[in-house]
Amino acid sequence: MKIKKTVVGSLICLSMIFSVSSCAGDGFDKETFSGGVTDTQLQSPDASEVAFSKLPGTTNVKVTWPVVMGAGGYQFSLYIVDNPDNPVAVVKDSIIDGSSVVCPYLDDTNYKAEIKTLGNEKLNNTDATSATETTWTTLISATSIPDGEDLVAWFANNPVTTGKDTEVAFELEAGGTYTISGDLDFGVNNVQLRGNKLNHAKVNFTGTGGSIITCGGGLALKFIDFDCSVVEGGTFLKFGDVPAEITGIDSYGMVTNPIIFQSCEIRNVKCKLVNINNKKYAVQNLIIRDCIVEAHQVGGDSGDFIDFNKQNSFIKDLEISSSTFYSHTRVNPRFLRYSNGNATKAGWTVCTMTFKNNTFYNISYNGQSFNCNSWTGRNNSIVVSKNLFIDSFSGNFNRRIRMQNTNVAATYDNNCYWYNGALPLDETTNRDDGDKSTSAYGVDPVFTNPANGDFTPSAPEVFSHGSGDPRWLN
């Protein structure tokens, strides 16, 4: 069997590898592959017979189509069409010897494939006159919520009852405006609430005590701009009572579906971003990715920003990436607090934290990045890569995130530390638990307008290290 491999450049990745079987690999020899078709203008494959199949354990999709007898090959293109008027080529006009191709894919993305049958000179067959076009999406199907709705009332009239084992999605209209008038409680259901990737919906809290509530079924908030201005001393997301159906070891509510904030703006948070709310949960994954979080932090224990400090609650794996956190106040709450960092109590082995490509400004200015008494002495680990830590965490992010101990394994690269006009040496050379990478540095990034949320840096060192939220570097 002949196997042909083609490496194709892409706007999405540096390269992508196509492993494509020839006609022999598809179970045809040269004679039967022609099917007796000669002297013919060929047709492109039927769009209804083009299939997309995600390959388990990868972020690749296999695209297959029926063999066109007498063909000499196929011309294949794949585009991202989130904006149909501005398609982005992933692969363009690649010549494929076979009837399938493997490509990388992104979540929450719309695609269009074009497949054109090519002629075969030996059989005197000519190209198809046009390509077959077909679409595919990695967005899960969703129920649309009309523009202008109060989401509390809408979900009261359209309750979610699917439970934790099935993710259900609800989509807000592109550019729409919605309200949350009180507590928006999704219970133990696994819910995705999303807007449009290119034209975010706006959701305004209108109830002074309103929060989004989950009871551990899983929650994804994507492509939405939230405004919490009227919520004084409240919480953006809090946990409700632990349901019996997810109660596990040591009476933990076992949250095995992820909690995700993705590509959201969360504005004017005036106390807590996340609050365990005196419940006992072990959260397997909390992910904050490609977000802007604007805070008006308050001081003391009541202001701990991501607060799991009750009932031995904790997060097993935390990821904060490609995001910006900033505060308009200079106070002393903890940014992150667990009641327990001992994964074994919930039947797991270790806990991890990943901080990649973030901009932190004025967050927990004279407070702590983290606190958890049982975090040290465990096989826990952190990755801290390409962050800007500017006037935040008392100039002691690393000391607290490792809880003043080198038992917590740490990987560092290209982080910038700057506090009160200087490199805080406790972050690097002064302490054993500091950043010992050769790429750590200190410079004032000279943001364009931080008071108004523009964190575009002007210091050339920031660009050469690639540090901070990527949205400000492009």
Whole-angstrom distance, CA of residue 211 vs CA of residue 183: 5
Report the pLDDT value the prediction gives residue 33, as an integer from 0 to 100: 58
How many whole angstroms separate alpha carbon 352 and alpha carbon 316?
6
Note the pLDDT of residue 8: 37
* pLDDT, position 1: 27
The greatest distance separating any two alpha carbons of the chain, rounded to the nearest whole angstrom, comes to 82
Hey, what are 71's tokens? 């063909």
Q: Which residues of 204-234 are buried (b: 16+ CB within 10 A; e: fewer)?
A: bbbbeebbbbbbbbbbbbbbbbbbbeebeeb
Phi, psi of 78 (to 5 degrees): -135, 130
Query: Which amino acid would we find at residue 244?
Result: A
Q: 314-352 burial, b for 16+ CB within 10 Å, e for fewer?
A: bbbbbbbbbbbbbbeeebbbbbbbbbbbbbeebebeebb
Task: Give the pairing type, strands 132-137 and 110-118.
Answer: antiparallel
pLDDT for residue 15: 31
Query: Quick one: pLDDT at residue 13?
Result: 35
At residue 250, φ and ψ (nearest 5 deg) are: 55, 30
10 Å Cβ neighbour count for 81? 17
Return the residue matching tokens 């990045």.
369
Output the pTM of the full model. 0.91
- Please report, in tens digits, the pLDDT of each residue of the chain (474 residues total): 222 333 333 333 333 333 333 322 333 444 445 789 999 999 999 999 999 999 999 999 999 999 999 999 999 999 999 999 999 999 999 999 999 999 999 999 999 999 999 999 999 999 999 999 999 999 999 999 999 999 999 999 999 999 999 999 999 999 999 999 999 999 999 999 999 999 999 999 998 889 999 999 999 999 999 999 999 888 999 999 999 999 999 999 999 999 999 999 999 999 999 999 999 999 999 999 999 999 999 998 899 999 999 999 999 999 999 999 999 999 999 999 999 878 999 999 999 999 999 999 999 999 999 999 888 867 899 999 999 999 999 999 999 999 988 889 999 999 999 999 999 999 999 999 999 999 999 999 999 999 999 999 999 999 999 999 999 998
Identify the burial level of 30 via C-beta atoms within 10 angstroms of its C-beta, where 0-12 means exposed, 13-18 middle and 19 or more buried: exposed
